[in-house]
Amino acid sequence: MQINGPGYIHGAQSVGGPHGVKGSQRQQPASEAKPVQDELELSEASRAGATDNVSDIRTDKVDRIKAEIAAGTYETPEKMSLALDRLLSEI
């Protein structure tokens, strides 16, 4: 094993990297490959709790913000500055 310092720049490597698939492992052809399918399962408790906070939604405020976004007036320099200040204070 050879260990080099942090400033060492190594030569070019292949795209597959040094740990590629060996010839003994057979990959399935694209025609035999099964398509990947996402799946989501919700428990009864999560389905029951899904509507608990619906009454907390202030539809008047949501509608106003949607209208401002559609009109292009929602993002103001003051709001962007405030968001940047909050982001920087978290960092």
65 in Cβ contact with 74 (< 8 Å): yes
Report yes or no on whether pTM surpasses 0.85.
no
69 in Cβ contact with 76 (< 8 Å): no
Residues 64, 68: Cα–Cα separation, whole Å:
6
* Low-confidence spans in the chain with pLDDT less than 70: 1-3, 5, 10-14, 16-31, 49-55
What's the pLDDT score for residue 58?
Answer: 87
What's the pLDDT score for residue 38?
Answer: 87
Sole residue written with tokens 């960092």? 91
What's the pLDDT score for residue 67?
Answer: 95
Sole residue written with tokens 């590629």? 20
